Amino acid sequence: MCGVLGIMSHGAVNQELYDGLQMLQHRGQDAAGILTTDGSVFHSHKGQGLVRDVFRTRNMRDLLGNFGIAHVRYPTAGHKNSEITEEAQPFYVNSPFGISLAHNGNLINVDSLMQNIVNNDLRHINTSSDSELLLNVFAHELENQVFGVILTKENIFNAVSCVHNRVRGAYAVVAMIAGYGMVAFRDPFGIRPLILGERKNQDGTIDYCVASESLALTHLDFQIVRDLKPGEAIFIDFDGNFHAYDCKKSTQLVPCLFEYVYFSRPDSVVNGVSVYQARLDMGTILAEKIQQEITEPIDVVMPVPDTSRPIALQLAQHLNIPYREGLIKNRYIGRTFIMPGQAVRKRSVKHKLSPVEVEFKDKNVLLVDDSIVRGTTSREIVDMARMSGAKKVFMASAAPEVRYPNVYGIDMPSKEELIANNRTVSEIAEEIGVDGLVFQNLDDLVGVIKNLNPQINDLDTSCFDGRYITGGINFD
C-alpha cells in the first residue's frame, strides 16, 4: 500500500512534492522518491527511509522543473531488506523518449508478464519489483503506438488500453514522459485510489495534481475535482493542456475495503467517501453487535491508537460507556502492520504503545482495534492490559476475521501468517488471551461504505471472504 503523487504546476514543484509526500507518509515508510522535469531532462532522488530522512536541502535544490511525480513505498512485491535501494520508486527507462513511473498496488500475473517482457518484448528487468515490470509493459506498448518521432495523446491512451489488456491486479499509476508530459491511470476495478485536483492561479492558468488521497491535494491548496474512474487515464502536456480518456470500456468501481478500515487517513475522502465518517459509522454498527455478544458489564472503552479512535469514540457513545485513552502511542515509531518482517513488527509493539495503568486497574476493559491480522499486536496489548491491573479484557475488531491473503498491495502473503486462519472466533480469543472477542460482520461493514457512496459497485473484500475480483487466484 504505497502512496503516489504527481503535480503539474506553473512554478517549481520540488517543495510541493516533498510536502505532499509527507501527507502520504502513513502509506509507506520503507522508501521515498521524487522525480522532476523541466521538459526534456529528468532530475531525481530516492532512497530508503522516511521522507524527512531521504531528502536534504542539497537534494531538493537539484530537483528542478514544474512537473514531477513522487512515491512513498510500502514493500509488498519484491525485496523487503531495508538496505536494498534499487526498488525505491519512481522507476525509469530511457526508451521510448524516457519514462519514469510510480505505482501503488500489486500485479497478480507477474510470472507470465515477466516471460513476455523478457522473451518477446526483449526488455530487461533489473529488480523483482512488479512496478518496474509495469513500467516496462507501458513503455513497450507506447513504443508500439509511435510511428516516427511524434507522440500524440491518442498514442498514450492506446498504450494504456493495451496495458489494461495485459496486466492483471491493482494499480494506480503516475508517470512522466520526457518531452511530453504527465500521465496517470487506474486499474479497471479502481482497487487502489487516485484522485485529481486543480488549482487556479491569479493569472488564470491552472495547476493539476493527482494523489493517492485527497488530503495531499487539500494540503497543497488544490481543489478536489474527482476520483479517476476505473480504467481511466489522464494526460497533461507541458503546455498545461488536460486530456482524459476511458481506456477500458467494461469497468466496475470495486475499491479496497481496507482503505477505509486502516490505510487511509481519517481526514481523506476516498472514492467519494469520508474516511472519518466511515469509521464513525463502523463504530455504530460494531456497538450493536457488542450489545448482542458481550453480556458482562464493560467499565471503559479504549481505542488501540491511532486508526480506531473515531470507531471507539462512536462505539462508546452508542453504548453509553466512558471512553478513555489508556494506551499512549510513541509518535516516533512507525505503523507496525506495515513494517517489513514479523521480527521487527513484534519488537516494535512494546516500543510503540505504553499503558496508563490507572485506566486499567480493577476495570473490565473493552479494547477497540481496526482489525486483527497476525495477532502479534493484539497479544502484546492484552498482556499490557492485564499487567496494568485490568480485571477482564475484551476486544472488538472493526473488521471481520482476516482469513485469506491479500494480493492487491497489502502485506498478507500467506494464510499461515493470519491468526484467523483455520480458527474459530473463540479459538482466536484464546490465542490472543481475551475474555471476549467480537468481529464486525462483513455485510454490515460493506454496507457502511456503500451507504456513503451508492456509486460504489462492490468492494474488494478478498482477505475476508476469499473472493478475488480480478479472478485468477487460487490458494487451495
**294 plus 215 within the same structural domain:** no
Q: Are 140 and 62 in a shared domain?
A: yes
Distance between CA atoms of 21 and 34, rounded to whole angstroms? 9
Last residue in a domain, options 220, 251, 282: 251
146 shares a domain with 195: yes
- Domain presence at residue 84: yes
pLDDT tens digit at each of 476 positions of the chain = 799 999 999 999 999 999 999 999 999 999 999 999 988 899 999 999 999 999 999 999 999 999 999 999 986 654 545 445 778 999 999 989 999 999 999 999 999 999 999 988 888 888 889 999 999 999 999 999 987 778 999 999 999 999 999 999 999 999 999 999 999 999 999 999 999 999 999 999 999 999 999 999 999 999 999 999 999 999 999 999 999 999 999 999 999 999 999 999 999 999 999 999 999 999 999 999 999 999 999 999 999 998 999 999 999 999 999 999 999 988 776 555 445 555 555 555 667 889 999 999 999 999 999 999 999 889 999 999 999 999 999 999 999 999 999 999 887 658 888 999 999 999 999 999 999 999 999 999 999 999 999 999 999 999 999 999 998 887 65
Q: State yes or no: is 162 an active-site residue.
A: no
Domains identified in the chain, total number:
2
204: left (phi over 0), alpha (psi -120 to 50) or beta: left
**In a domain? residue 422:** yes
What global pTM score does this model have?
A: 0.92
190 and 332 share a domain?
no
Report the phi/psi class of residue 243: left, alpha or beta, with left for phi > 0 and alpha for psi in -120 to 50.
Answer: beta
Quote the domain boundaries for residue 121: 3-251
Asked if residue 68 and residue 149 are part of one domain, the reply reads yes
Start-to-end Cα distance in the chain? 25
Same domain (yes/no): 44, 109: yes
Cell numbers 513497450 label which residue? 140
CATH (domain of 298): 3.40.50.2020
Q: In this structure, are 362 and 449 located in the same domain?
A: yes
Same domain as 421, residue 371: yes
Answer whether residue 229 is part of any domain.
Answer: yes
326 with 444, same domain? yes
**Residue 433 within any structural domain of the chain:** yes
Is residue 472 one of the residues assigned to a domain?
Answer: no
CATH of the domain at 156: 3.60.20.10
Backbone φ/ψ region at 122: left (φ over 0), alpha (ψ -120 to 50), beta: left
What 3 state SS string does 163-174 have? HHHHCCEEEEEE
Q: Can you read off the three cell numbers belonging to residue 300? A: 471503559
Residues 135 and 191 both lie in one domain:
yes
Residues with Cβ within 8 Å of 361's Cβ and at least 6 positions away in sequence, in order, are 388, 389, 390
- 2, 162, 256, 463: the active-site residue: 2
**Is the same domain home to 205 and 283?**
no
Give the domain-ending residue among 208, 236, 251: 251
Looking at the fold, whether 238 and 293 belong to one and the same domain comes out as: no
Q: Is residue 144 part of a domain?
A: yes
- Residue 232 pairs in a beta bridge with 246
Whether 261 maps to a domain, the answer reads: no
Q: Does residue 390 fall inside a structural domain? A: yes
